[in-house]
Every structure is written in structure tokens, then in C-alpha cells.
């Protein structure tokens, strides 16, 4: 199975982001904590180059927090920092604002010497369905950005004032034109960063089950019992077709949904 998805609005979105860069002080780079390394997009890296960056390891409620705490420090440098959170919970907004103020410290101090309280402008970027718009709404304190548990909800940039002299630019989730590394592509598909309609659900579920059994056999056993394949999951769940055959398609969809909802356990793929 070859996975690739780069609709026209993503190319347009990258061009729009490039135009907005001159206004931006800090990049908020949202990563899905279940697939943090796959969430790094070379196209977005080029946009973020030269800017201060705050990496947000999002959806930590579904991920292996211990592993993320081992990975995250790699993203801290002189002009970058990180934060680990679940953007659906309140309270993360103030932590992010504090980080933004720290990363924009030079600009804040420059204007303070003139007696001026300056506005910090941040651009929120990331792959589709990483929780960017949910994060923006958390920062705003109310729903201003359109959200959805699927890829491709946000279609265009929108600037939002979140108070505290901070403005955010919410951007569409963006992949890159050629997903050459198919392991990366699979990991993005597992978490819904690639539109489900462009992926063979059975093949994707087979790959997911293989990786889960390889590294998280105990969690698979707890959820489904001693299963070897999708047919075993169909049997465990009692998924049958009208003719009495086991419903592999339904088992595939159930497995992927169980992973995405955290029912199999808190898992991070690298």
C-alpha cells in the first residue's frame, strides 16, 4: 500500500504561511504525541527556519507520557522550547503564553525600554488533526477556530487575538508533497492525519496490528485476547457478515478507532 495525500489546499496553505512570516515572532509547532517524530514536516521546518519555536507535544492523554518526556528535551535549544499537554483541558493556555513571552523576550525588552508594551504574534503549525485548532480555542478561552476529529478541517489562515498582548495565526494542517518514508506515512494515517478515504482501511489496520503486536503485545492481549490477525479480532468482537463470514472490514475499522481513542492503551510510535 502506497500512502500519499497532498490536496491542493495544502499547497495554497504553505504559500499563505510564507506570506505571513514577516509578522510572526514565534512558531507554535504542534506535534501529535502518539507519533511525534512523524509529525515533523520538512515543508513546515523550512517555514519555521530562523524563528523561535515552541514545540507542543499534544494529545498526551492518548500517548506514552514517559517516552515523550524522554524525547521532548531533544527539541529544546537556544531559540526553541517545548511543552507537553492535552489541549482539550483548560489550564494549558497560561503555560503556553508564558513560554511565548520567554521565547519573545528580546522583542518584549526592546519595546519595554521605549515604554511600549508590544504584541507577540505566533503562528500555529502542524500536520492535519494534530489538535491545532483545539489548542487555539483553549488559548482563546472559547471556540473561535473550527475543529474536528479528522484531517483537513481548517482550510485557511485566521488571525485571532487571545489577550495578554498575544495574537495567534491558526493555519491548516499541512503534509508534504511526497511522503517518501512510508513508515512515517503509516504512522500519520494511524492517528488520522491522512484522510481515511485515501487509505485502504484493511491494509492500514493490518500494519497497525503488526506494530502493536511487535511492541505492545500485552496491551493487544488485554483488549482483544490472544489474536494474530484481523479475523481473530472479528471473532473476538463477534463481527459477522450475513453469510456467516467474519467481517474483516469492520474489525479493521474497530482496531484503528480503538487505537485513536486510546482504548488499547497509551501508546507512542517513533
Rg of the chain (C-alpha set): 20
Q: How far apart are CA 75 and CA 28, in angstroms?
A: 12
Q: How far apart are CA 152 and CA 28, in angstroms?
A: 19
pLDDT of amino acid 148: 46
Q: Are 29 and 47 in contact (CB under 8 A)?
A: no
pLDDT per residue as tens digits for the range 14-34:
888 888 888 899 999 999 999
Q: How far apart are CA 204 and CA 257, in angstroms?
A: 12
The upper half-sphere exposure of residue 128, i.e. CA atoms within 13 Å in the direction of its Cβ, equals: 30
Question: All 3 cell numbers of residue 53?
Answer: 519555536
Angle formed at CA 98 by CA 97 and CA 99, multiple of 5 degrees: 90
pLDDT per residue as tens digits for the range 32-91:
999 999 999 888 888 888 889 999 999 999 999 999 999 999 999 999 999 999 988 877
| Backbone φ, ψ for residue 199 (5° rounding) | -120, 140
- Is the per-residue pLDDT at 146 higher than 70? no
- Is the per-residue pLDDT at 155 higher than 60? no
State CA 119 to chain mean position distance.
27
Beta strand residue intervals within 75-157, DSSP E: 80-84, 120-126
Q: Does 252 or 135 have the greater pLDDT score? A: 252
Q: Name the pLDDT band for 172 (thresholds 50, 70, 90).
A: confident
Q: Closest by alpha carbon to 189, among 131, 132, 129?
A: 129
- Provide the mean pLDDT of the chain: 88
Q: How far apart are CA 270 and CA 268, in angstroms?
A: 7
Kindly report the pTM of this predicted structure. Answer: 0.89
Question: Residue 161 belongs to what H/E stretch?
Answer: strand 158-163
Amino acid at each position: 500500500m502506497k500512502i500519499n495525500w497532498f490536496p491542493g489546499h495544502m499547497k495554497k496553505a504553505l504559500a499563505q504561511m510564507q506570506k505571513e512570516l514577516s509578522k510572526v515572532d514565534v512558531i507554535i509547532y504542534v506535534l501529535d504525541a502518539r507519533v511525534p517524530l512523524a509529525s515533523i514536516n520538512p515543508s513546515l521546518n523550512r517555514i519555521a527556519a530562523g524563528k523561535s519555536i515552541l514545540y507542543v507535544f499534544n494529545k498526551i492523554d492518548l500517548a506514552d507520557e514517559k517516552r515523550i518526556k524522554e524525547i521532548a528535551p531533544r527539541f529544546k535549544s537556544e531559540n526553541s522550547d517545548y511543552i507537553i499537554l492535552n489541549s482539550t483541558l483548560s489550564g494549558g493556555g497560561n503555560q503556553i503564553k508564558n513560554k511565548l513571552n520567554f521565547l519573545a523576550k528580546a522583542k518584549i525588552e526592546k519595546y519595554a525600554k521605549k515604554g511600549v508594551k508590544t504584541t507577540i504574534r505566533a503562528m500555529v503549525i502542524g500536520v492535519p488533526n494534530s489538535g491545532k485548532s483545539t489548542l487555539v480555542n483553549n488559548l482563546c478561552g472559547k471556540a473561535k477556530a473550527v475543529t474536528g476529529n479528522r484531517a483537513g478541517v481548517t482550510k485557511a489562515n485566521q488571525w485571532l487575538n487571545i489577550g495578554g498582548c498575544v495574537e495567534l495565526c491558526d493555519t491548516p494542517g499541512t503534509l508534504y508533497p511526497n511522503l517518501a518514508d512510508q513508515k512515517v506515512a503509516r504512522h500519520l494515517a494511524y492517528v488520522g492525519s491522512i484522510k481515511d478515504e485515501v487509505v485502504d482501511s484493511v491494509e492500514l489496520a493490518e500494519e497497525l496490528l503488526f506494530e502493536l503486536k511487535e511492541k505492545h503485545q500485552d496491551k493487544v492481549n488485554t483488549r482483544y485476547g490472544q489474536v494474530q490477525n484481523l479475523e481473530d479480532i472479528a471473532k473476538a468482537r463477534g463481527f459477522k457478515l450475513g453469510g456467516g463470514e467474519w467481517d474483516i472490514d469492520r474489525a479493521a475499522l474497530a482496531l484503528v478507532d480503538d487505537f485513536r481513542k486510546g482504548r488499547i492503551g497509551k501508546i507512542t510510535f517513533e
